[in-house]
Amino acid sequence: MNFFCSPFSCTLHLLHGSKAVKRTDLENEIKELIVTTLDLEDVKPEDIETNAPLFVEGLGLDSIDALELGMALKKKYNINFKSQSNENKKHFASVSSLAEFIATFA
């Protein structure tokens, strides 16, 4: 994780593979992955709020969606989630929290 600053702003860049990825780009990738993996026909990636809850209220995903999404994230970013971990709820709380987890462990 690196911060690049100009006189006007700082941007967080994440290392993804061999390239630097902006945090917003990673969040957008996750939104796209959610829509395509879960076949959300009436939802576009730009409709998903970055900090909104993914489960119950918010996007309204369920436990089956979490399993499918977890497998897709593992495949795309080579990350592992611990089964039966209370930390998973924290990681899957929002797109923002998923991006933070991926940036930390990918």
Q: What is the pLDDT of residue 68?
A: 96
Cα 56 versus chain centre, distance: 17
Q: Which amino acid is at 29?
A: E
Please give the residue range of the domain that contains residue 39: 22-105
Q: What is the pLDDT of residue 15?
A: 47
Per residue in 2-30, pLDDT (tens digit) is 444 444 443 444 444 434 568 899 999 99
The pairing of strands 19-22 and 10-16 is antiparallel
Q: Is pLDDT above 70 for 37?
A: yes
Considering the entire predicted model, what is its pTM? 0.78
Q: Which tokens hold the place of 85? A: 């971990």
Residue 7 lies in a domain: no
Taking a C-beta distance cutoff of 8 angstroms, is the pair 39, 64 a contact? no
Mean pLDDT over each residue of the chain, to the nearest integer: 83
Taking a C-beta distance cutoff of 8 angstroms, is the pair 106, 79 a contact? yes
Residue 54 lies in a domain: yes
47 backbone dihedrals φ, ψ, rounded to 5°: -80, -20
Of the candidates 9, 33, 28, the residue with the CA atom closest to the CA atom of residue 96: 28
Residues 6+ away with beta carbon under 8 Å from 97: 90, 91
Q: What is the pLDDT of residue 85?
A: 78
Residue 42's domain is classified under what CATH number?
A: 1.10.1200.10
Residue 77 lies in a domain: yes
How many domains does the chain fold into?
1
Q: What is the pLDDT of residue 84?
A: 75
Taking a C-beta distance cutoff of 8 angstroms, is the pair 59, 45 a contact? no
Residue 74 lies in a domain: yes
